[in-house]
Chain A
Amino acid sequence: MDITVELKGVIKAFGDVNAVDRVSLQVRRGEFFSLLGPSGCGKTTTLRLIAGFEAPTGGQILINDEDVADKRPYERNVNTVFQSYALFPHLTVTGNIAFGLERKKIPRSHITRQINEALDLVHLEGMGPRYPRQLSGGEQQRVALARALVLRPDVLLLDEPLGALDLKLRKEMQIELKRLQEKVGITFIYVTHDQEEALTMSDRIAVMEKGRLAQVGTPEDIYNMPRTRFVAEFIGVSNFFSGKIAESGQEQLVVETNSGLTVSLPGSENRQKGQPLQFSVRPEKISVISGEEDTEGENRFHGRILNRIFLGGSVTYVISLADDQQVKVDVKNDRRSRQPFPFSSGDHVVVSWHREDGVILAD
């Protein structure tokens, strides 16, 4: 497989703290790869290590199979879109975009053509003579993007580039960025703390926690099969259960939760009876039916509705299953559930989910 950037056991220590702790990952050519995590998880530091602004304390960074340990940022064919955009205030839009090109000893006419192409690419035709302070935040962001893309880097690093924009513009730019990335075919490494942003745009996501990689995978993998509680909690909403294994088999695993429910989970190797276990179920995987129905069968439990939250596209019910066990359930607002949402606070209901929708979490 064609790998653009590879990190091998990379460590970055600031004092006693490892901001980046033994991170190993491979980013494929042409991929939109996101580093996702809460602030302080080491995602920006990882990006700065790849750009060359920080030197790793340990481990190796390879760009196009070449160790870049002793290469300064200006010697790496990697460009960054900074969180603050970092546009040069003393240069026009054209001057900013030309900054990296002029070094490359390209004839003037070529530079002019490339600048115009870059401006077209980000829909800023005719903005060349303006100064950054005369542009809106969204426009500045596009200039920063054009300035980096015009150099045709092997990898484009983006450090929360949409963070300063308002919600509507951010949504537009997400789609725009993804379109752009597919068009130019450059590898993007995108740092964000916004899980929705990562899910929308990425081919693959690396979730980081306290300097380490918690999980790497496609958005579907990460959402449907979170490996740890941290990942399940950070991405989307989940219902968490903990208990002990009552029965362990190839086909299924039966868990007695601490709240007294008996739950079937998909079978799993190397699990012993009596072992403690945590698992999660996504709210939209759970269905709600009237309380008159019986609770025979797998994973069907009585509950009482505590709260009903209408969200437009869906309704969220908060349902109490036992004294110390609540679940959130999302019901879609579609044609099948017209005459919909017959339940309100206090109603008795039956909730159920498929065995396969339970996800066993590592501690």
Chain B
Amino acid sequence: MFPGIGKTGLFWPIEGIMKSNSSINFRKPVLDFFHRHSSAKVFGILSPCIFWIGIFFLLPLVLMAAYSFLERGLYGGVQWIFTWQNYTRLMDPLYLKILLRSLRISFLTTTILLAIGYPLAYRIATAQKRWRNILLFLVIVPFWTSDLIRTYAWMLILRDTGLINNVLMYLHIIESPVTLLYTEGAILMGLSYVYLPFMVLPLYASIEKLDHSLLEAAEDLGAGPIRRFFKVTIPLTQSGILAGMLLVFIPSMGAFVIPDLLGGAKVMMVGNLIQLQFGASRNWPLGSAASFILMAVVLAAVLSYLKFSGGRKALEEAL
């Protein structure tokens, strides 16, 4: 059957994806909906979403894809001449190093935040009810200030004449300032600080709805606190762990404000590279190509992680 013909023909790809997995329960009503109504009607109902995604997501993506195969214009913009050059240039070890560094920093940020975020979320979720909202509020409250301003504040704390160095020198623990700013460590610090709520909130949601009687059952069946944690608590909060890790990893890979301010020119991440190409370097095609490579790398990392951890089911539950 040709797509677009027949009652549900237009939506056969959606149907195919949905059929591939049978454990989700919202799938059936959605499919029923497709079967009961004509394509035109379904299209009409979905048109706001299709319009929105088309204008603000697909169109820019197509534009960028096109740009990435064109030659740069002299003062920005593009010349409509086809070339592979942008991609071949990005295979240069210089750029690969930036990509690897981005991967390493994002991975470390995710790991650090999981290690900090899980105990924190657990503590909040198991706190007394009246404390829970207050504690959650405290986690979110830094969001009320722009992260640009918060990052500048970190610069003041970390720089050679900043708070930390001054205090350490005053106490005679060190004699000369230690370089804290413009290091990979500073970026890690900044990313971990800014993305903490992205880790804590999904974790909190999954821990909070954990059925307490399952923990009691584990204990009843002879599991001490450690075994109980790894055999019951972790698997049952896997959806939160996964969501938190993705919500931290993906924006970390694309971050540019924090690495720019805290890492400086010495420690560049992919985000900075892209920003540079669209800005000062005026090489839009190279920036577009870098964006696509970033997207491919993130997608590959996430998919392989999902496959490796068997987390696809958990992800579906999280969504």
Contact = CB atoms under 8 A, between A and B. Distances in A.
Nearest to A82: B213
B98 interface: no
27 contacts: A53-B219, A72-B224, A73-B216, A74-B220, A74-B222, A74-B223, A79-B221, A80-B216, A80-B217, A82-B217, A86-B211, A86-B213, A86-B214, A86-B216, A87-B217, A88-B217, A88-B218, A88-B232, A89-B214, A90-B238, A99-B218, A99-B221, A99-B223, A103-B221, A103-B222, A104-B222, A148-B221
Nearest to B216: A53
A227 interface: no
B221 A72 contact: no
Interface of A: 51-53, 72-74, 78-80, 82, 84, 86-90, 99-100, 103-104, 147-148, 151
Contacts of B216: 53, 73, 80, 82, 86
B73 interface: no
Contacts of A53: 216, 219-220
B235 A73 contact: no
B257 interface: no
Nearest to B213: A86
B123 interface: no
Nearest to A83: B213
Interface residues of B, number: 18
B222 A88 contact: no
Interface in B207-234: 211, 213-214, 216-224, 227, 231-232
Contacts of B231: 99
Nearest to B235: A90
A144 to B, nearest CB: 9
B235 A147 contact: no
A103 B225 CA distance: 13
A151 B221 contact: yes
A53 B217 CA distance: 10
B215 to A, nearest CB: 9
Contacts, number: 60
Contacts of B217: 80, 82, 86-88
B211 to A, nearest CB: 7
6 nearest CB pairs, A to B: A100-B221, A86-B217, A86-B213, A73-B219, A90-B235, A80-B220
Interface in B287-309: none
A89 B236 contact: yes
Given A52-B219, A80-B217, 19 more contacts: A51-B220, A53-B219, A53-B220, A74-B223, A78-B220, A79-B220, A80-B216, A86-B211, A86-B216, A88-B217, A88-B232, A88-B236, A89-B236, A90-B235, A90-B236, A103-B222, A103-B227, A148-B220, A151-B221
Contact of A151 (B219, B222, B224, B232): B222
Contacts of B236: 88-90
A147 B218 CA distance: 11
Nearest to B227: A103
Contacts of B211: 84, 86
Contacts of B214: 86, 88-89
A106 to B, nearest CB: 12
A99 B227 CA distance: 10
A160 B222 CA distance: 22
Nearest to A84: B213
B213 A73 contact: no
A72 B219 contact: yes
A183 B218 CA distance: 26
A134 to B, nearest CB: 10
A99 B224 CA distance: 12
Contacts of B220: 51, 53, 73-74, 78-80, 148
A89 B236 CA distance: 8
Nearest to B232: A88
Contacts of A79: 220-221
Contacts of A74: 219-224
Given A88-B232, A89-B236, A90-B235, A103 B223 contact: yes
A10 to B, nearest CB: 19
Contacts of A99: 218, 221, 223, 231
A103 B221 CA distance: 9
A121 B238 CA distance: 33
Contacts of A148: 220-221
Nearest to A103: B222
A147 B222 contact: no
A78 B224 CA distance: 14
Nearest to B314: A90
B25 to A, nearest CB: 10
A91 to B, nearest CB: 8
A86 B223 CA distance: 15
Contacts of B218: 88, 99
A318 B224 CA distance: 58
A333 B231 CA distance: 58
B202 to A, nearest CB: 18
A79 B221 CA distance: 7
Nearest to A157: B220
Nearest to A72: B219
Interface string B237-280: 01000000000000000000000000000000000000000000
